[in-house]
Amino acid sequence: MLNESFIPVAHGPPYSPDLNPCDFYLWRSLKDTVYRVGIDTVDDLEMAIRQRIEAIPYATLQAACVEFEKRLQNVIVARGSHFDNLIY
């Protein structure tokens, strides 16, 4: 009954940083710029992160989306298996 009523679940790896735009783009970008300034408190860290996210150009976000599509294509070609040809 449940299988007839719901969309089937697509099983994937429990954690795949190569397919998570925050992992393959955002955190690396934030780390590289946020920690250039003095961070003394959690509030300082939060403010620096917010400022950096707000400063990301739209074209850069578009490029991250294109990169994500390429990564998804790699997964399809590899039929879900591990692949080494990551694009950064």
Over residues 8-20, the pLDDT tens digits come to 666 665 667 777 7
Of 71, 76, 80, 60, nearest to 18 by C-alpha is: 71
Residue pair 33/52 in contact (Cβ under 8 Å)? The answer is: yes
Does 22 have pLDDT greater than 70? Answer: yes
Q: 4-13: long-range contacts (C-beta < 8 A, 24 or more apart)?
A: 12/80
This prediction has a pTM of 0.56
